[in-house]
């Protein structure tokens, strides 16, 4: 993920801001350094439309195509379990528009594996500190 301006140029300050843009690159399923086919990698350009530092939540929406054809929204957040005191990470991604069904059919299973791997990676990285 790289924070960018609306013209897709990387920003020197990579701090998320409301209305900011993000270029997201993905490998599905997550692979580093391995060749991939057309359905195994991708990228999207999104805009941050909700940012709540106090409650550790963020959401972004796609800025591709037209909403009639495809639109996406992703929410991420952290909560604390009152009983165990452990941190819980959650992410939800919603797809809409005519192409959403096609994308779900072609790469839905890979997306689920990728979301799980991203959560595990975030957990492992957080627990290192």
Instruction: Specify the pLDDT at position 23.
Output: 92
Q: How many CA atoms lie within 13 A of 96 on its CB side?
A: 11
Instruction: Identify the CATH number of the domain in which residue 16 sits.
Output: 3.30.530
Summarize pLDDT for 73-121 with one digit per residue, the tens: 999 998 888 898 888 888 898 999 999 988 888 888 888 888 888 788 8
Question: Which tens digit of pLDDT belongs to each residue from 32-43?
Answer: 555 555 556 677
**Count of CB atoms situated within 10 Å of the CB of 99:** 16
- Domain of 24 in residue numbering reads as 2-128
Among 31, 22, 23, residue whose Cα is nearest residue 117: 31
Query: How many structural domains comprise the chain?
Result: 1
**For residue 63, is pLDDT > 80?**
no
Residue 103: its pLDDT value, please? Answer: 85
């Amino acid at each position: 993920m790289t924070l960018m301006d609306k013209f897709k140029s990387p920003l020197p300050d990579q701090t998320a801001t409301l209305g900011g843009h993000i270029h997201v690159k993905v490998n599905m399923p997550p692979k580093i350094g391995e060749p991939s086919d057309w359905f195994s990698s991708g990228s999207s350009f999104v805009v941050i439309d909700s940012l709540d530092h106090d409650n550790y939540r963020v959401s972004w929406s796609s800025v591709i195509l037209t909403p009639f054809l495809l639109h996406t929204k992703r929410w991420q957040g952290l909560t604390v379990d009152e009983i165990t005191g452990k941190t819980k990470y959650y992410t939800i991604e919603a797809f809409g528009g005519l192409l959403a069904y096609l994308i779900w059919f072609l790469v839905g299973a890979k997306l689920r594996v990728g979301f799980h791997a991203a959560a595990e990676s975030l957990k492992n990285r957080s627990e290192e500190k």
